[in-house]
Every structure is written in C-alpha cells, then in structure tokens.
Chains A and B, each alone.
Chain A
Amino acid sequence: GQQLNQSPQSMFIQEGEDVSMNCTSSSIFNTWLWYKQDPGEGPVLLIALYKAGELTSNGRLTAQFGITRKDSFLNISASIPSDVGIYFCAGPSLGGNNRLAFGKGNQVVVIP
C-alpha cells in the first residue's frame, strides 16, 4: 500500500539551531502538505507545495517539493521553544476521493 516515511522519528535540538526533516513516498505526488501538531491540539497546515522543485517559505519554515515528486523536505531555522510539536507530511491518497495519506510524524523537542 501507499506509504509515507518520515525521518527521523524524533529530534532533540538546541534552541537557535536549524532542523531539517524529510518525507519520502512510495508513489509520485502532485501535492505535498506539511502540518504541525502542538501538544493537545489538532494538526495545523504550515505549507502546501504544488509543483516539483517548488521551494516555499513561511516565516522560519522552508519546504521543498522534490524533483522526483517522491519526496519533500521541511527546514526550521533558528528554532525556538514554541517549535516543539509533531510535524506531519501528507499527500493525496491513492484511494482518491480527496483523501490524504499521512506520514507518522517527526517529534521535535527544543531544548532551551
């Protein structure tokens, strides 16, 4: 079945450091979405990518749609304590019907 693999599963970083995470797919995507989930809350959409090679920023966040269309990268620059949370990648499910496939998430912990 369709799989989205996120690595690493968890990261402990010092405040002020940059952090990068990636997501790979077993199938080609035409959309990549990155979400963040704060503890005790629902996922919030951070960045949406619609074109292979696209590089998009949202404040200190930068995401890229891989040229193979099977991967995407998210970078957080100059991390701060509120960056703590789980970061999910998502893309259109092979099942169609406007469904998304989600990765299992990267847990980010920022150490002050």
Chain B
Amino acid sequence: IAGITQAPTSQILAAGRRMTLRCTQDMRHNAMYWYRQDLGLGLRLIHYSNTAGTTGKGEVPDGYSVSRANTDDFPLTLASAVPSQTSVYFCASSDQGTGEQFFGPGTRLTVL
C-alpha cells in the first residue's frame, strides 16, 4: 500500500451501536488526524495525534475516541453512535517538518 488507507469505505449503522473506523498510513508520518466533513461546515477536526502514544482533542471530539498504539494506525471509535454522527470521515497524516497533511479516501457513515 502507499499513502493512507481507510476502512470501511462506507457503513450504515444503527443508533447506539459501537463502530471503529480504521486508518493506516505507510509514510512513517508522526502526526495523524481525524476530520468529519459535513455540507456547509467544511472539514472539522475531531482528534489528532502528534506521535505514537499521544492524542489530543480537536474542535468536535465529543462522542469519539482515538488511540495511537503505533506510528501507522490511528483508529477512531464511536462508542454509541447517534444520527448526528452521520458524516464523511477523513483520516490524514503529516510530517511534522512541513505541516502538509495528506488525506485518505474517506469513510461515509450513516447512523440511523
């Protein structure tokens, strides 16, 4: 693989269910990010991680959790999904030296 991969591509989920969105990068970037994209609101940062073992909250962290056990993987978990979490989710990574972020293809999540 090259770049960032996300799984699943899309998912329909019942409210109240737990869901983990997966993100893997092979660029050895230190920093990784999770965004949600909603019409009219642009990209909003959910959580980020500057390096393996550390995480931080973004603009809209409520209802989401992340972990960063290693450099390559940065899963996003919805403990109990709600309809307002219906969105397109993007994972990104960056080399801390440049600040340029590279995005995955996205996961389209629908919570009913």
Q: Which residues of A contact B (CB under 8 A)?
A: 31, 33, 35, 40-45, 48, 88, 90, 92, 97-100, 102-105
Contacts and interface: CB of A to CB of B under 8 A. Distances in A.
Contacts of B74: none
Interface residues of B, number: 25
Interface string B38-69: 00111101001010000010100000000000
B42 A98 contact: no
A56 to B, nearest CB: 13
A110 to B, nearest CB: 21
Contacts of B41: 104
Interface of B: 4, 31, 33, 40-43, 45, 48, 50, 56, 58, 90, 92, 94, 96, 98-106
Contacts of A48: 98, 100
